[in-house]
Amino acid sequence: MFADYMLNAWVVATIVAVVAPVVGFFVVLRGSAFVAHAVPEAAFAGAAGASLLGLNTIFGLGAFALGASLGIGMLGRRGRHDVVTALALVMLLGAGSLFLGWSTEYAPEIYSLLFGEVLGVSGNEIGLTALLGALCLGAIAVLYRPLLLTSVAPELAAARGIRNHRIDMAFLVVVALATTTAVPVVGALLMFSLMVGPAATARCLTDRPLHAVVLSVVIALLTAWASIAAAYQTNWPVGFFVTAFAFAGYLLAHGGRWIRNAYSRPQAPLAGESAA
């Protein structure tokens, strides 16, 4: 499973598993999981369209992801995107299926855009993935503090002169970039689980923002590596394992927290109850 042709898979999955949860930490913090779901769908539609026109699929994918992010950001004012996002989401899925319907050959390449093709990553995709990933991480590192403040308390951010809408738009561009990085590898549907799953798990486990970011990355790496290994062993699709492991991690962390809380509660019944 560490043969030469598998090497690319390990490298690319590792890059994605570092970038996705770092971006995802803020996606979860801002409560924009829905946007993170819609942008990869846009990427899928863009790739399907590009392949129909005989263009580079990565290009079409990136263009649609960026367009969807900016569109959602501009239409949904004040950081509330849910209605616009929902409309964009179904519209993009529809467009994607239309493009697929028009396309004469049912390209497995496009199928892999939805569900990922970690085991078939080519060498020249690694360079692009690494570059876009580095861009995302750089942008998050630069914006870290204002992004953190606008995400938890926009009123406080505005009081410090931070322009919430600009930060919002910048962040949506980063989501689009991260999606472009990852969709060709893990697929539109699965990108979402690597972004949101580990970050949601990590924040049950720590109270510190920076620790939560690091922990999300660790969880995502374990998820991605375990998924590749399991896919290699079983020959089942890697996407199944990614989503299953991400969800299992989330359930475990929440279950753990629930048990901890249950035990830390005072054992003695309340005065009123004992009298009854």
Is residue 259 within the footprint of another protein (CB under 8 A)? Answer: no
Binding region for another protein (CB under 8 A) out of 41-49, 179-187, 209-217, 240-248 = 209-217
Query: Closest approach of Cβ 197 to another protein, in Å?
Result: 15
Near another protein by CB under 8 A, which window of 8-16, 97-105, 204-212, 219-227? 204-212
Identity of the residue, 54 or 161, whose beta carbon is nearer to another protein in the bound complex:
161
Q: Is the dihedral of CA 157, 162, 164, 168 positive or negative?
A: negative
Interface with another protein: number of residues (CB under 8 A): 29
CA separation, residue 163 to residues 13, 107, 120, 158, 180 (Å): 35, 44, 43, 6, 26
Examine residue 207 and tell whether it contacts another protein (CB under 8 A): yes
For position 127 contacting another protein by CB under 8 A, the verdict is no
Binding status of residue 206 toward another protein by CB under 8 A: yes
Q: At what angle do helices 4-29 and 123-152 cross, to 10 degrees?
A: 10
Looking at 10, 115, 144, 225, which residue binds another protein (CB under 8 A)? 144
Q: How far is the CB of 80 from another protein (least distance, A)?
A: 13
Q: Is 221 in the site for another protein (CB under 8 A)?
A: no
How many C-beta atoms lie closer than 10 Å to residue 101's C-beta? 10
Residue with token string 């028009």: 102
Instruction: Tell me if residue 104 falls in helix, strand or coil.
Output: coil
Answer yes or no whether residue 80 interacts with another protein by CB under 8 A: no
Q: Of residues 145-164, which lie at the interface with another protein (CB under 8 A)?
A: 145-146, 148-149, 151-153, 155-162
* Residue where the block lists tokens 């004012």: 77
What are the backbone dihedrals phi and psi of residue 50, each rounded to the nearest 5 degrees, phi first? -65, -40
Kindly identify the residues of this chain, within the stretch 14-33, that bind another protein according to CB under 8 A. Answer: 29, 31
- 143 belongs to the binding site for another protein (CB under 8 A): yes
Alpha helix positions (H), the chain = 4-29, 33-52, 57-75, 82-102, 108-115, 123-152, 154-159, 164-186, 188-205, 209-234, 238-264, 271-275
Contact residues for another protein, defined by CB under 8 A: 29, 31, 141-146, 148-149, 151-153, 155-162, 202-203, 206-209, 211-212
